[in-house]
Each structure stands twice: as C-alpha cells, then as structure tokens.
Structure 1
C-alpha cells in the first residue's frame, strides 16, 4: 500500500532484470512509493564531464537511492570497476545500499577474509600462496581441502581435493587451477554434517537464520548444487558471532555463512549482497520487504 510519507521517493534497484530477487525487491519498493526502476549495470552510462549517470534515459543522480541487489551475474575483477562507478554516484549524494566501500571489500574473497581475520572471527584454516609446490604441501597438511576462486558465488569454480586423492591427481588439479587463477586460496574442508547456516541481517540488525541442507550426492550445501532450505533457531551465542562477523563491514543487507563443526562454529564468509529466498523458504519471512523498509527509512531521514 502506498505510504503518503514515501510517495515521490525514488529508489532504483540494480540487479538482473527478470530475476526473482531483483524483481521482488522492486515490487516492494513500488508498492510503498509508486516508483519502479530496475537496472542492469551494463546499461549505465557515466558522464564525468557533467557528473551525470544515465540508465535507459533515467538520470540516476535524480534518484533518492539505489539498492544494489546484484551487481553482476558472476563476480570478476571487472565487478570492482562497477563499484567505482557506484562510488561516484554516492559522492554525488545518491544513497547506495550497501555503501560501496563495504561492497567492495566483499567482491574479492581474499579482502573479505582478511577483514574477518582482523575482526578475530573464527574461520576454517585458510592459506594463501601463489606457489604450486606450497599449495600441494598445504593440501596434504589439511587432508581434504577446498580451492576457492577469489571471485565467485554459490560455490562456482571451487575444487574439492580429498585426502584419498593421489599425489599425482592433486598436483594435476593444482596445475589446472593455475590456468584460470593467479593465486591459491586454500581452506581446510570441515565436517559440516551436510548442513550450514545463512544468518540474515538488515541494517546490522539480526533478522533470521535458515539452514542449507546438502543433497546427498553434493559436497557443498548450495541450492545451486541441489541443497534445500530449512528453518533454524540459533542460540544467543551464535547470533552474537554472526553480529560480530557482519560488523566487520557496514552492510545494509547481508547473509553470514556459518557452519557448526566439531571444533565449534566457524564463519565462511559475509555476503556482498545476500539473497531473499532462504529467509522466505526457510523461515517464511519477507526479507525483501524488510530491506525496502530499511532503505526507505534511511532515505526519509536524510531528506
């Protein structure tokens, strides 16, 4: 229902036009304000000579805000260029959700990991090297390990190296990995008992937690690999861990990936954007509505 105090506010959504998470967020904003704009970063044109930015004829500098639901279909170094464009819009007075400096830290897996490390957040054992020989020694020390690309989502591009793999097989996979990656990000594989957690935060405030339960044939729990969502009720200590992890950044909306292991809970990562499906299917909560409410509140207070 249109809200008189919000009518006339213009908050656009940057995402993948036609994708559910992008469109549902635009739906929630339109229902509150009467304004709808869904944009693909590929269609944005920045005019540095006039300090203007356009998308399909819409002047983005005239908007009250932009919510970045998805900045690109896949993460890559070029994604950081898009962050710079949004940062310039931010400098011109357009509210960007999440702040570009925060998003930028999470596009690259290494920079996000280092921020968590500096925040004393428990994580799986993680090693970084450019050397194939050192990477081989790390994998053998860890037993089973996972190679993680610096730019990826939903476990895409990850390689699971098992303790029972032969030396020849491990070396061959490491050599193959160097064809697409310049650096090895190696994380010890832990026993997750087929489940990990997504803890959702809106504006730094705890919202809900859902579990991702792996398909019986998959080594990871992602929905992309056949996993499913379930409700999960965390205790206060676990929520406190999630709060500390997301506080390493300043995200308007994010999901903290947590696993319960034999050594205690560990954090895998904090999401640059976070999804709405887990909260809806796992907890029956409308995270898109909560995010729209948060952004509108910030924009109203700014006026």
Structure 2
C-alpha cells in the first residue's frame, strides 16, 4: 500500500513548520514544505502548483502557517487552497475553517455568539465612539484585525490627556480603519494556551511574562511553564473551540478576578508552547491525526 503524500504549508526554516514536516516524513517517507508565496493557482486546469509539484495531486495539506504575518492577503492564500479541497485533497484544518479565524473580528463574533466570556470589546470606525470607549474602560488595548503574537497592538488611555488620546486613536486608525478595542485586563503576568486535537483536550501550558510589558507573548520576553486546569476551565476552552471545528488549535485563556475569559482561538495552534510548557509532542500527535484522517 502506497503511503499518503501530505505536504506542509508553512514558512521554510521555521521550527514549527519543519518539525511537522519531519513528523510526517518519519511516518510516510514523504517530505514537502510549501511556502504559499511560491504557489500559483491556474483555473484553466484547476492546478495549484509550487514549482513542478501540483498540490492538487497530493493526499493532504497540513497548514501550519499560511503567511509570516496575518493580513488580508492571507485570506487570498486560503481561498487558493479551496481549489485543492474541491479536487479531494484533505486540508488540515479546512480552508474555510481557518478563514473564520484569521480575521480577529470573525473569531470574536463567533465566540460571543456561542456565549463564551471575553474581555469587554467595542468595534467601530468612528473616532468619537472609540474615544468614548477608552474613557469608559480607563485603559484599552487596540488590536489590528489581522495580527499574531500581539504585533501591532497598543494600550491607550490611562495617564494620556484627552488630546494625546485622540491623536493616538487617529494614528492607529491610519493603519486600521476598523477599530477593535478591548478593555485592558490585569493578567498577573500569566495567561494560558489550552491545546485541542480533533476537538479533544490534550493539555495546557502557561505563558508567563518576564518583564513589565502588558502582554505575555514570547515575542515580548515571556516563557512557557506547565499548568493544570480544573474541569470547568477545560470545559470552557472546549466550548470556545467547538464552533470552529479545527483539527488542531490552542485556546488562549486568561484567569481574572471575575473568572476566566477567552482571548481567541488560534487558527494554527502553538507547537512550541505545547512541547516546552506541557511536554506535548504536538507535531507527532498532529501527524498521526492527519494520516488517520487521510487513510480513511
């Protein structure tokens, strides 16, 4: 029986991309990393080519990273993958499922519609409404609709004068026409990544701040450590990821004085946090899951 051929969509040379490609190669003997920047979609013959390779002739595509940074072009890359899906290629997670998560607002609306607790959030294009929101919140985090690892986010309010605040909001809006504003939450320097594979809970790691920055991301100097959640917290994270139907994901959860809240559900999930913080070989588990699905 011929082993399945599953390529990894990701960033060549990046650890999470390469470790997933390694895990698939160990199990099948086939290894291919694909950068979507090198892919061409030809709708004349419905081919999706990376060099001489037609991705539509593979058994599966594991999407570890669709672009180095999220932006509207990321959505176009996912749309291209739908051509492969139409021809029977399994995409993990499905292109339309990832599409609902790359845009922060789409993720937020889905979570709130499901009754998942989140930070107080206002979304507007109106500068006055944004100003009024910050005054009401005291301090607020402004987030681009397309970003990861807190890139492009900023905290406004606090000690700023009204004039300084208005100028800062206008400057943010220059690059972000839709203003996504969340009440700043006191995290005590830690938040959680709760890992799910095929909808099943795998484990939890904490991201712990090592500085006085407002976020805990590794990009800002944070580190990973183990964490054991209770059953209620696991159930909250399960409910948060359920509407998206992802093959692999991480639910970002914070513990506050008013109870746990969910920041977001990741389109791709975190391999390094799972390994270093919780001892979970996410790449190996994901590779097994993918191959089990492809072989059905």
Does 2:263 correspond to 1:268? yes
In the other structure, the counterpart of 1:71 is: 66
The reply to whether residue 17 of structure 1 matches residue 6 of structure 2 is no
Gaps of 5+ in 1: none
Q: For 1:165 and 1:215, how far apart are their aligned partners in 2?
A: 26
Aligned counterpart, 1:258 = 253
Output one character per residue of 1:73-126: Cα deviation in whole Å (capped at 9) or x when no partner: 011111111111011211111000001111000010001100001111000000
Q: CA deviation at 1:157?
A: 0.3
Alignment of 1:170 with 2:188, yes or no, is: no
Task: Quote the residue 1:292 is aligned against.
Answer: 287
Cα distance in structure 2, aligned partners of 1:115 and 1:88: 25
1:149 aligns with 2:174: no
The equivalent of 1:159 in structure 2 is 154
Cα distance in 1, alignment partners of residues 238 and 279 from structure 2: 22
1:131 aligns with 2:131: no
Equivalent of 2:229, from 234, 249, 253? Answer: 234
Residues in 2 aligned to 1:48 and 1:170: alpha-carbon distance in whole angstroms = 49
Q: 1:59 & 1:179 partners in 2: Cα distance? A: 40
Question: By how many angstroms is 1:216 displaced?
Answer: 2.0
2:79 corresponding residue in structure 1: 84
Deviation at 1:285, TM superposition (A): 1.6
- SS of equivalent to 2:175: coil
Matched, 1:206 2:204: no
Distance 1:8 1:207 in 2: 27
Q: Distance in 2 between matches of 1:79 and 1:61?
A: 19
Q: Could you list the per-position Cα deviations for residues 242-297 of structure 1 after superposition, in whole angstroms to 9, with x for gaps in the alignment?
A: 00000020111111000000110000000011120001110122100011010000
Partner of 2:104: 109
Select which of 8, 11, 22 maps to 1:27.
22
For the 8 Å contact 2:135–2:157, the answer to whether it is kept is no
1:282 maps onto 2:277 in alignment: yes
Deviation, 1:177, is 0.8
Q: TM-score, normalised by structure 2?
A: 0.98
Q: Using the TM superposition, give the Cα deviation of residue 163 of structure 1 relative to its aligned residue in structure 2, in angstroms.
A: 2.0
Distance (Å, rounded) in 2 between the aligned partners of 1:121 and 1:285:
26
Secondary structure at 2:112 match in 1: helix
Give the C-alpha shift of residue 61 in structure 1.
1.3
**TM-score normalized by the length of structure 1:** 0.96
Residue 202 of structure 1, CA deviation: 0.8
Instruction: Please give the root-mean-square deviation of Cα atoms over the aligned residues, in Å.
Output: 0.9
Question: Aligned equivalents of 1:292 and 1:109: distance in 2?
Answer: 27
Q: Does structure 1 retain, via aligned residues, the 8 Å contact 2:78–2:95?
A: yes
Per the alignment, residue 120 of structure 1 pairs with 115
Residues 158 and 169 of structure 1, relative CA distance in 2, 3 Å threshold: same
Shift >6 Å, 4+ stretches = none
On the 8 A contact 2:101/2:266 being kept in 1, the answer is yes
Contact 2:9 2:64 in 1 (8 A): yes
In the alignment, structure 2 segments of 5+ residues that lack a partner are none
Distance 1:283 1:108 in 2: 28
* Residues 169-223 of structure 1, C-alpha deviations (whole Å, 9 max, x = no match): 2111101012101111000011111100000111111111000001222110000
